[in-house]
Chains A and B, each alone.
Chain A
Amino acid sequence: MDFSHIPILSIITYIPLFGALAIVFLLPRENARLIKTVATFIAVLDFVVSLPLWWAFDRARDGYQFVEKASWIPSLGVDYHFGIDGISLVLILLTTLMGVIAIVCSFTAIEQRQKEYYVLLLLLQTFMIGTFCCLDLFLFYVFWEVMLVPMYFLIGVWGGQRRLYAAIKFFLYTLAGSVLMLLGIIALYFYNTTGFLSYKGLGHAPTFAIETMTAVAQQMPANLQIWLFFAFFLGFAIKVPMFPFHTWLPDAHTEAPTAGSVILAAILLKMGTYGFVRFSLPMFPDAVRHPKVVGIMVTLSLIGIVYGAMVTLVQKDMKRLIAYSSVSHLGYVMLGIFALNMAGVQGGILQMINHGISTGALFLLVGIIYERRHTRMISEYGGLAKPMPVFATYFLIMALSSMGLPLLNGFIGEFTILQGAFAKSFWWAFCAATGIVLGAAYLLWLYQRVFFGEVTNPANEKLADLTFREQLTLAPLVILALWIGLYPRPIFDVIRRPSEKIVAIVGGATMEAPAVASRVDEAGGAVPSVSADAPGAVRP
């Protein structure tokens, strides 16, 4: 497929936006059925349009593809600049898929103000895809910020008991982080042009192009890099969220409607890790390599993993439990990224996808049971495997995927990350592995309490099993989980090039190629064994 003459990325980005506008202006509020149908149609259309990217994407090429560029604000040097590499590609596909699922899973859950609800979901979709497509920092910031608005309303209007608190907390936390990132962007801009404070500028023409900015940022003196690293860090770390910035997450997740939680877990959190991979690492390699910075990042990640898992263990509310498990899982992603080697970075990126699939599915499942019983307390359930065998099966698969059982997606991600971490330090891997044990504990214990044994609560005896529509939302995620678990190579192929580039920049050059990698490679055809000490090496 040749997309060189079609602005395919813009089309994918704005289909939901125009769909949302169409719903606002053309559809009557009373006809909820029609609104649902149209919203689903738009989301499916967007997904279908985005699918060909997977085949059209040239895995062997460096740099960005499907690039679109037009001048937007010449006075500032801002361009409308879209383009993707392998990392954005997989995230965009995940987004368009999750967009469909989020809409379909809301059909019965949302009963009031339906028109606004679907409009907001579609708007959010546009902003998320746009964020992943941006090749201009200014434009990126615009999408990054405006994304908060629909999510704020999704939580605030359709959320649970404490929705107001959760919504504003979500907005304030993420905004507070990103405004400092804005200052970082301004500093970069001046470093590239006329200079600021005591830093002499490079005197280039003003631009916000990510590629140029990345090259420029790398030339900055180490102390400035560290300042800017932390300015960006706050923006991204709050979004991830890394310990100790995670406190907004359980509230937002718990209070959000099911679709909101799914999107939040599957996509929004990935914005933070994506930011690290796309900006922090390649832009500030001297800062990232700095032993103290690595120390801080890895320590926070490990605390996130272990502390997150321990807090998860004691949760009484299913949704809150899964929310906290996200803190732990995102800790793995961050650990992988800051291992700064091929295995770590690739594992981190894959784990972003995996977490989206597994945790997204778990939130769907909790949403399904909540719709039937209107409670999320674990103690209210027990023996659900009897009335709802299909539901129990899906839940089991997803729980196993989330805890990293071999043959499912979570295993590949966590294993690759551990490999990367192990190559750096035994203790990193050791601590992280503790988290895996705890992860198995909280998920299995949850499963046992909810599904096994006799039905203790009479309210649960007559629960209906999954409907066809509900299975429809879950099945794609199960298929993906199995696919990545059995044959992750296609995904690794897509993210290999950009990962190599990042690792080459941050100078994982001294790293040995992790020996375990090749073993997995033989076993499952999984991890590419490109040795990290040969950046840019072409695979045979």
Chain B
Amino acid sequence: MFTTKLSDWILLAPELFLTAAGLLMLGISVFLSKAREEFLGFVATLSVGITGALLTWVAARPDRKTPILAGSFVVDNFALFFKGLVLLSLLLAILASVRFVGRAPYPGGEYYALLLFSGVGMLFMVSGNNLITIYVALETMALSSYVLAGYFKGEIKSTEAAMKYFILGAFSSGVLLYGLSLVYGVAGKMGLPELAKLLSSTERSNLLMLGILLILAGLLFKIAAVPFHVWTPDVYEGSPTPVAAFFSVGPKVAAYAILARIFYVAFPKFHADWGLVVALVAAATMILGNVAALLQTNVKRLLAYSSIANAGYALLGVLGFSTEWGLWGVLVYLLAYTFMNFGAFTLVILLETKGYAGESVSDFNGLAQRNMPAAMVMLLFLLSLAGIPPTAGFIGKYYLFTAAMKAGYAWLAVLAVVMSAVSLFYYFRIASAMFFSEAAGAKLQSSYTLNAVVLICAVGTLVIGVAPQPFLAVLKSCVLQP
């Protein structure tokens, strides 16, 4: 059928290495006592670092331009950007987990291994150029995630989160798969470019539309857009916080990558059809995410709804595919979002007092007195999430609003800015708790790894906000070319 050259495997080096590292992790952990699990964190960090190095090596190779493995795997700039982002969120997740894995009464080896495996899935997802590859990669990622959500297997909430995530996730995968099969049924092709070529001469048919709609629904579930968002707050609340932080960035980012690739490469012709659906979903997502977040008292749930709202903003960029701003905006926003959202979650991890249990907003009371630098960086993340300049969040939102205006969705842009003003109210509930309330605990101790995560996120949030030009220029070259 198709032949594989050796050079194909060279381009797969980062993925292959990360898989090997995950397996190695399982192997080593057998010989390590619970007390020495910090070493595993170190190994995991190192493997992500090496994967990153391999990625830059691959990026520099001229032969990456042509798709490999019979056209099912591409290493274009777009994929490289998302691979970088996936590795970044993996790195942050591992660093943020070291302290909690050490404290938790469960083996750490499988935890890190699962993180790395889900990373492998994402690396494949963002390169997938073929419906089957994309689906299999997505499942690799998802299956590891389900287990991660239930890592605290003795705790009811964690188990519930895993169960919910699994059932709804499996259901959505089914929906996605059904959509893929319908599209395949109509077109008879699996590769995205071939699909595009074929569909450009195919008439619009109900069957095809149904297929596209089901694919869209499946992917909207993964990015937690309304009405497929219900799992998010429960899963974030029940999962260990570092896992929730990871879920809020890594898998979402990867899902955006395939959403963009499938719809941009294969279905641009039917933009008018899916555009309206996406517009309505974006509107509903922004409204529901923001309004529901107003009512939350648990920070993890609040951040869950905030991440739903953010998914709504990012959909504005998806809508603007046809303009130069759309995809560019999505990339800028996802980069900003990874830093600021993970940063905010890390502060929750830092404050964690009752094991993994959900943290209430009042736990932030008087943080300014307990640990001023922590309160300051949290403020930075909140400002960025609310889109106040000069932060990364502002630049990202600016792009998305611009994309919506350019694509002719002025009403959505108005809704988006109004909603982003509303969001300030709940973000600043945390800010006011930190600065205006009396301290509820002693001085707050951090750990080196958590400090590192917070520092990376804070620097990212601030630098992209103040000096965005280098990032914007690079990201522009990462936009998918038609």
Contact A187 B405 (CB under 8 A): yes
A72–B405 CA distance with the chains assembled, in angstroms: 23
- Give the residue of A72, A149, A180, A189 whose beta carbon is less than 8 angstroms from that of B469: A72
Contact B414 A183 (CB under 8 A): yes
Contact B432 A168 (CB under 8 A): yes
Contact B435 A179 (CB under 8 A): no
Known pairs A74-B469, A149-B383; A196 contacts B421 (CB<8 A):
no
Q: Which residues does chain B contribute within 8 Å of A176, judged by CB atoms?
A: 418, 421
CB distance from B392 to the nearest CB of A (A): 13
Q: Which residues does chain A contribute within 8 Å of B383, judged by CB atoms?
A: 149
Q: Which residues does chain A contribute within 8 Å of B414, judged by CB atoms?
A: 180, 183
Interface flags for B372-414 (1: CB within 8 Å of A; 0: not) read 0000000000010001111000100010011001101010011
A261–B428 CA distance with the chains assembled, in angstroms: 22
Q: Which residues does chain A contribute within 8 Å of B387, judged by CB atoms?
A: 179
Contact B469 A182 (CB under 8 A): no
Residues facing A in B411-429 (CB within 8 A) are 413-414, 417-418, 420-421, 424-425, 428
Q: Which residues does chain B contribute within 8 Å of A187, judged by CB atoms?
A: 405
Contact A182 B425 (CB under 8 A): no
Interface flags for A153-168 (1: CB within 8 Å of B; 0: not) read 1001100000110011
A190 at the interface (CB under 8 A from B): yes
Interface flags for A384-398 (1: CB within 8 Å of B; 0: not) read 000000000000000
CB distance from B282 to the nearest CB of A (A): 16
Contact B406 A196 (CB under 8 A): yes
A448–B80 CA distance with the chains assembled, in angstroms: 75
A198 to B, closest residue via Cβ? B408
A168–B387 CA distance with the chains assembled, in angstroms: 16
Q: Which residues does chain A contribute within 8 Å of B425, judged by CB atoms?
A: 168, 172
CB distance from B426 to the nearest CB of A (A): 10
B413 to A, closest residue via Cβ? A183
Known pairs A171-B424, A190-B405; A73 contacts B468 (CB<8 A):
yes
CB distance from B385 to the nearest CB of A (A): 13
- Give the residue of B398, B410, B421 whose beta carbon is less than 8 angstroms from that of A175: B421
A197 at the interface (CB under 8 A from B): yes
Contact A179 B436 (CB under 8 A): no
CB distance from A262 to the nearest CB of B (A): 22
Known pairs A75-B473, A157-B435, A190-B406; A146 contacts B417 (CB<8 A):
no
Residues facing B in A30-85 (CB within 8 A) are 72-76
Contact B410 A75 (CB under 8 A): no
CB distance from A64 to the nearest CB of B (A): 23
Known pairs A73-B469, A164-B432; A182 contacts B410 (CB<8 A):
no
A76–B468 CA distance with the chains assembled, in angstroms: 10
A164–B436 CA distance with the chains assembled, in angstroms: 8
- Interface size (A, Cβ < 8 Å)? 34
Contact B388 A149 (CB under 8 A): yes
Known pairs A73-B469, A73-B472; A179 contacts B406 (CB<8 A):
no
Contact B421 A179 (CB under 8 A): yes
- Give the residue of A157, A171, A172, A197 whose beta carbon is less than 8 angstroms from that of B436: A157
CB distance from A193 to the nearest CB of B (A): 10
CB distance from A122 to the nearest CB of B (A): 16
Q: Which residues does chain B contribute within 8 Å of A167, judged by CB atoms?
A: 432, 436
B34 at the interface (CB under 8 A from A): no
Contact B436 A141 (CB under 8 A): no
A172–B423 CA distance with the chains assembled, in angstroms: 10
B476 at the interface (CB under 8 A from A): yes
A145 at the interface (CB under 8 A from B): yes
A156–B421 CA distance with the chains assembled, in angstroms: 19
- Give the residue of A76, A182, A189 whose beta carbon is less than 8 angstroms from that of B417: A182
A284–B432 CA distance with the chains assembled, in angstroms: 39
Q: Which residues does chain B contribute within 8 Å of A141, judged by CB atoms?
A: 389
Contact B428 A180 (CB under 8 A): no
Contact A156 B432 (CB under 8 A): yes
B328 to A, closest residue via Cβ? A75
A10–B409 CA distance with the chains assembled, in angstroms: 38
Contact A146 B405 (CB under 8 A): no
CB distance from A257 to the nearest CB of B (A): 14
Contact B401 A182 (CB under 8 A): yes
Q: Which residues does chain B contribute within 8 Å of A168, judged by CB atoms?
A: 425, 428, 432
CB distance from B404 to the nearest CB of A (A): 9
CB distance from A110 to the nearest CB of B (A): 15
CB distance from B370 to the nearest CB of A (A): 14
CB distance from B80 to the nearest CB of A (A): 19
Q: Which residues does chain A contribute within 8 Å of B410, judged by CB atoms?
A: 183, 196-197
Q: Which residues does chain B contribute within 8 Å of A72, judged by CB atoms?
A: 469
A156 to B, closest residue via Cβ? B436
Contact B389 A142 (CB under 8 A): yes
A94 at the interface (CB under 8 A from B): no
Q: Which residues does chain A contribute within 8 Å of B394, judged by CB atoms?
A: 142, 145
Contact B390 A146 (CB under 8 A): yes
Contact B390 A197 (CB under 8 A): no
A179–B410 CA distance with the chains assembled, in angstroms: 14
CB distance from A229 to the nearest CB of B (A): 16
Interface flags for A256-287 (1: CB within 8 Å of B; 0: not) read 00000000000000000000000000000000
Q: Which residues does chain A contribute within 8 Å of B476, judged by CB atoms?
A: 75
A156–B414 CA distance with the chains assembled, in angstroms: 29
Q: Which residues does chain A contribute within 8 Å of B390, judged by CB atoms?
A: 142, 146
Residues facing B in A186-201 (CB within 8 A) are 186-187, 189-190, 194, 196-197
Contact A175 B424 (CB under 8 A): yes
Known pairs A72-B469, A141-B389; A183 contacts B435 (CB<8 A):
no
Contact A182 B388 (CB under 8 A): no
Q: Which residues does chain B contribute within 8 Å of A149, judged by CB atoms?
A: 383, 388
CB distance from A133 to the nearest CB of B (A): 16
Contact B408 A179 (CB under 8 A): no
A146–B417 CA distance with the chains assembled, in angstroms: 16
B407 to A, closest residue via Cβ? A196
Q: Which residues does chain A contribute within 8 Å of B408, judged by CB atoms?
A: 196-197
Q: Which residues does chain A contribute within 8 Å of B436, judged by CB atoms?
A: 156-157, 163-164, 167
A156–B368 CA distance with the chains assembled, in angstroms: 13
A70–B436 CA distance with the chains assembled, in angstroms: 39
Interface centre among B383, B387, B405, B414 (most CB of A within 10 A): B405
A171–B388 CA distance with the chains assembled, in angstroms: 11
Contact B435 A146 (CB under 8 A): no
B386 to A, closest residue via Cβ? A175
Interface centre among B408, B410, B421 (most CB of A within 10 A): B421
A149–B465 CA distance with the chains assembled, in angstroms: 16
A194–B405 CA distance with the chains assembled, in angstroms: 12
Q: In the complex, given contacts A142-B390, A175-B424, what are 18 additional A-B residue pairs having Cβ atoms less than 8 angstroms apart?
A: A72-B469, A74-B469, A142-B389, A156-B435, A157-B436, A168-B428, A171-B428, A172-B424, A176-B418, A179-B420, A180-B414, A183-B405, A183-B414, A186-B401, A186-B413, A190-B406, A196-B406, A197-B410
3 closest A-B pairs (Cβ-Cβ)?
Answer: A179-B417, A75-B472, A142-B389
Q: Which B residues fall within an 8 A CB radius of A? A: 383, 387-390, 394, 398, 401-402, 405-406, 408, 410, 413-414, 417-418, 420-421, 424-425, 428, 432, 435-436, 468-469, 472-473, 476
15 inter-chain pairs at a CB distance below 8 angstroms, sorted by A residue, are: A73-B468, A142-B389, A146-B390, A156-B436, A157-B436, A175-B388, A179-B418, A180-B414, A182-B398, A183-B401, A186-B401, A186-B413, A189-B402, A190-B405, A196-B406
